[in-house]
Amino acid sequence: MSDLTNVLPVAHAILPQLTQRRSPRAYTDQAVSAEALQQLFTAASSAASCFGEQPWRFIVGSKATSPAAFEKILGTLAPFNQAWVKQAPVLAISIAKTTFSHDNNPNAWATHDVGQAAATLAIQAVELGLQIHQMAGFSQEGARTAFGIPDGYQSVAVFTIGYPAAADAVPADLRERELAPRTRKPLAEFMFEGGWPQPADERYDQAPV
């Protein structure tokens, strides 16, 4: 079932899965099936990557099937994230392999490609009635220690996976966050057709005549 809470308002038509994707803090206790998890991570693996390296790795902890891993991921989170994340049925850590396999040189695009995989997974989640919430508020060293992540791999983000709960089913502070207006920069602030924008007085087309 589609999550139609706080859909992103946009000025130009885009895929509904994009406007319906959001980062909820309220989840139902419905478990995420093994099949749904496999679909999500298959979606992640469909992303493009530099040299086709597929530098992404994911550690998954499910309350239902791998509760010890869930607790370990929870333990890496900053307190402000731990407070609400407990509700989610699944947690994951995204990890980047930081060198290319074909020549062992540093892969400067590794975290870019992990981000692409995570974004693709997030869109597949919407299609399945799920949502994810990505977090930078966690300890990379904590994750390395907890899971024995080897050198040459760097954790990037932690994210929840779960079925979003209706905003009116959660306490007021969470409800407020769930329903806070969602905005994005106007295109003119980040889409520069023709080149980097120049100060107005250096632009011949805007100079006073």
Q: Partners of 27 in the beta sheet?
A: 164
- The least CB distance from residue 134 to ligand FMN, in Å, is 4
Among 60, 73, 132, 157, binds ligand FMN (CB under 6 A): 157
For residue 92, the surrounding DSSP H or E stretch is strand 90-97
Residue 188: what residue type? Answer: A
Q: Minimum distance from CB of 20 to ligand FMN (Å)?
A: 10
Q: Does residue 22 bind ligand FMN (CB under 6 A)?
A: yes
Q: Which one among 23, 39, 54, 139 touches ligand FMN, defined by CB under 6 A? A: 23
Is residue 107 within 8 Å of 153, Cβ to Cβ?
no
Nearest to 87 by CA among 21, 35, 36, 160: 160
- Least gap, CB of 37 to ligand FMN (angstroms): 20
Instruction: Return the residue matching tokens 């209706």.
Output: 166
> How many Å apart are CA 72 and CA 95, to the nearest integer?
15
Kind of pairing between the strands at 153-162 and 56-62? unpaired
Contact between 182 and ligand FMN (CB under 6 A)?
A: yes
Question: Minimum Å distance from CB 200 to ligand FMN?
Answer: 31
Choices 63-71, 92-100, 130-138, 196-204 (CB under 6 A): range interacting with ligand FMN: 130-138
Kindly state the smallest distance separating residue 135's Cβ from ligand FMN, in Å: 4
Nearer to ligand FMN (CB atom), residue 100 or residue 109: 109
What burial class does residue 25 get, using C-beta atoms within 10 Å of its C-beta: 0-12 exposed, 13-18 middle, 19+ buried?
buried
Residue with smallest beta-carbon separation from ligand FMN? 137
Among 137, 139, 144, 175, binds ligand FMN (CB under 6 A): 137
Contact predicate 157/94, CB 8 Å? yes
Interface residues with ligand FMN (CB under 6 A) are 22-23, 81, 134-137, 157, 182
